[in-house]
Amino acid sequence: MVSDADRDAETAIVDMLRAERPDDGLLGEEDASREGLSGRRWVIDPLDGTTNYLYRFPAWVVSVAVEDSEGGLAGAVFDPVRDELFAAARGEGLVVNGERTSVREPVATERALVATGFSYESARRADQAAVVSRVLPRVRDIRRAGAAAFDLALLAAGRLDGYYERGLKPWDWAAGRLLVTEAGGTVVELEDEPAGLVAASTPELAEALVGLVG
């Protein structure tokens, strides 16, 4: 689903970037796409968690990142419901509302609180259910907020231990991935189809999740 809020938020962000950074490229979830001349590209998810937003379920965020030839340069995930801004820049760590924050201390896999997400396609949901059946008995519990950028921000801020999901688009994780790595966490790309992402507070937990996700 796409709401007027998705389109209006993307328009506001794109208009600001075009005014301030006219030579940069753009990639947005809705309609924004533009090649740039500067070597930098902004990746925008104006409302991650649209279904939550429309149902008034309080788990939706705005995600904006800028990339250069080396990958993520800066990123921010804003949670308007709780007025929390998760922000990071390459080499500068993670801050949440201005306070430096990091991932959780290491835990054993069986004590890990792990987040994931599901496709809207029924056939892929069946495959994802099979993965959950492998993961759930091996971890403390699973959470499903319905917004990948939100999950990654929570992981970076030490409120989750791990996260995995397949079928993501660049705007789903561009900012969140940088948040996690700058907070001291680990991110692994799953390159087989459908491509996905595993993120965790430690390399050991990431490796365990990759093995379970398959």
Answer yes or no: do 134 and 196 share one domain: yes
User: Which residue segment(s) compose the domain that 46 sits in?
Assistant: 4-101
Answer yes or no: do 140 and 67 share one domain: no
Answer yes or no: do 123 and 96 share one domain: no
pLDDT tens figures, 112-136: 999 999 988 888 899 999 999 999 9
Answer yes or no: do 128 and 204 share one domain: yes
Answer yes or no: do 171 and 209 share one domain: yes
- Lowest mean pLDDT: which of 29-38, 63-72, 205-214? 29-38
Angle (CA) 48 56 14, round 5°: 35
Burial 109-142 (b: 16+ CB within 10 A, else e): beebbbbbbbeeeeeeeeebeebeeebeeebeee
pLDDT tens figures, 58-73: 999 999 999 999 999 9
Answer yes or no: do 83 and 171 share one domain: no
pLDDT tens figures, 82-111: 999 999 999 999 999 999 999 999 999 999
Answer yes or no: do 154 and 189 share one domain: yes
Contact status, residue 116 vs residue 129, Cβ threshold 8 Å: no
Q: How many CB atoms lie within 10 A of CB 106?
A: 14
Q: Final residue of a domain: which of 101, 123, 148?
A: 101
Q: Is the pLDDT of residue 32 over 80?
A: no
Answer yes or no: do 9 and 82 share one domain: yes
**CA 30/CA 27 separation, integer angstroms:** 9
Count of domains for the chain: 2
* Stretch 7-16: mean pLDDT: 92
| Tokens describing residue 116 | 């994931």
Answer yes or no: do 95 and 159 share one domain: no
